[in-house]
Amino acid sequence: MLNIALPKGRLGEKVYAMFEAAGFECPSIKESNRKLIFENQAVGVRYFWVKPSDVAIYVERGAADIGVAGKDILLEYEPDIYELFDLDIGKCRMAVAAKNDFRDDPQKTLRVATKFSNIARNYYTSQGRDIDIIHLNGSIEIAPILGLSDVIVDIVETGTTLKENNLSVYETIVPISARLIANKASYKFKSEPIEAILQSFARMAKEQK
Ligand code: PRP
Q: What's the pLDDT tens digit per position in 186-200?
A: 999 999 999 999 999
Distance CA 101, CA 111 (A): 16
156 lines ligand 1 (CB under 6 A): yes
- State in Å: Cα 140 to ligand 1 middle: 9
Assess whether pLDDT exceeds 80 at residue 209.
no
Q: What are phi and psi of 67, to 5 degrees?
A: -170, 180
User: Looking at residue 41, what is its pLDDT?
Assistant: 97
- Neighbour-count burial of 50, counting CB atoms closer than 10 A to its CB (0-12 exposed, 13-18 middle, 19+ buried): buried
161 lines ligand 1 (CB under 6 A): yes
- What proportion of the chain, given as a percentage, has pLDDT over 90? 94
Q: What are phi and psi of 167, to 5 degrees?
A: -120, 160
Q: Provide mean pLDDT across the span 38-55.
A: 96
Q: What are phi and psi of 91, to 5 degrees?
A: -80, 135
**Which of 72, 157, 160 should be mutated for ligand 1, with most atoms under 8 A from CB?**
157
Assess whether pLDDT exceeds 80 at residue 129.
yes
10 lines ligand 1 (CB under 6 A): no
Q: Whose CA is nearest to atom 17 of ligand 1?
A: 155
User: Looking at residue 10, what is its pLDDT?
Assistant: 79
Q: Place 34 in a pLDDT band, splitting at 50, 70 and 90.
A: confident
Q: Whose CA is nearest to atom 8 of ligand 1?
A: 161
User: Looking at residue 48, what is its pLDDT?
Assistant: 96
For residues 1-37, b (16+ Cβ closer than 10 Å) or e, as one string?
ebbbbbbbeebbeebbebbeebebbbeebeeeeeeee
Q: Are strands 2-7 and 45-50 parallel, antiparallel or unpaired?
A: parallel
137 lines ligand 1 (CB under 6 A): no
Q: What's the pLDDT tens digit per position in 169-183?
A: 999 999 999 999 999
Q: Nearest 5°: CA angle at 120, between 91 and 81? A: 60
Atom of ligand 1 nearest to the CA of 139: 20
Q: Nearest 5°: CA angle at 122, between 89 and 10? A: 25
User: Looking at residue 33, what is its pLDDT?
Assistant: 82
Q: Whose CA is nearest to atom 1 of ligand 1?
A: 155
